[in-house]
Amino acid sequence: MTAYEHAIARACDKAFPAPYPLGQCRGESVSEWHERLTAEERTELAAWQSAHRWAPNQLRHTFATEVRKVHGLEAAQVLLGHARADVTQVYAERNLALAARVANMIG
């Protein structure tokens, strides 16, 4: 985990603290907290954290999807710095709402 990813994980943990008994109690050191948790609770905590954290690449995906939706694939490609559009398509999701509107218009 990079320092950037670690900082985001810590911020997410502060914004979305795990409920008792999974979370760290006030005044409890990290080592005391980890010693208190059973193996099953550690597994539950990992699942909680996975569901309540986000990763830096999610920002890139969201940005690419919004740019593609408003300005098209080529704009997203340029802004992401990709040489080929097929790489951009990995980041920028298709606009399914637009596809549905076009299908309704065409019939």
CB 60 within 8 A of CB 10: no
Same domain for 36 and 61?
no
What integer pLDDT is reported at residue 94 of this predicted model? 78
Same domain for 40 and 78?
no
Q: In which element (H, E) is residue 50 found?
A: helix 39-51
Q: What is the mean pLDDT of each run of 10 residues along the chain (107 residues)?
A: 88 93 94 95 95 88 91 92 89 79 84
Q: In which element (H, E) is residue 52 found?
A: none
What integer pLDDT is reported at residue 38 of this predicted model? 96
Per-residue b/e over 15-26, b at no fewer than 16 CB within 10 Å?
eeebeeebbbee
What integer pLDDT is reported at residue 87 of this predicted model? 87
Same domain for 60 and 47?
no
Question: Which alpha helices (DSSP H) does the chain contain, by range?
Answer: 3-15, 30-36, 39-51, 56-71, 73-80, 85-91, 96-106
Comparing CA positions, the residue from 79, 73, 41 lying closest to residue 60 is 79
What integer pLDDT is reported at residue 107 of this predicted model? 77
Same domain for 72 and 37?
no
Same domain for 63 and 46?
no
Q: State the total domains in the chain.
A: 2
What integer pLDDT is reported at residue 29 of this predicted model? 94
Same domain for 81 and 63?
yes
Residue 43's domain comprises 3-51
What integer pLDDT is reported at residue 1 of this predicted model? 75
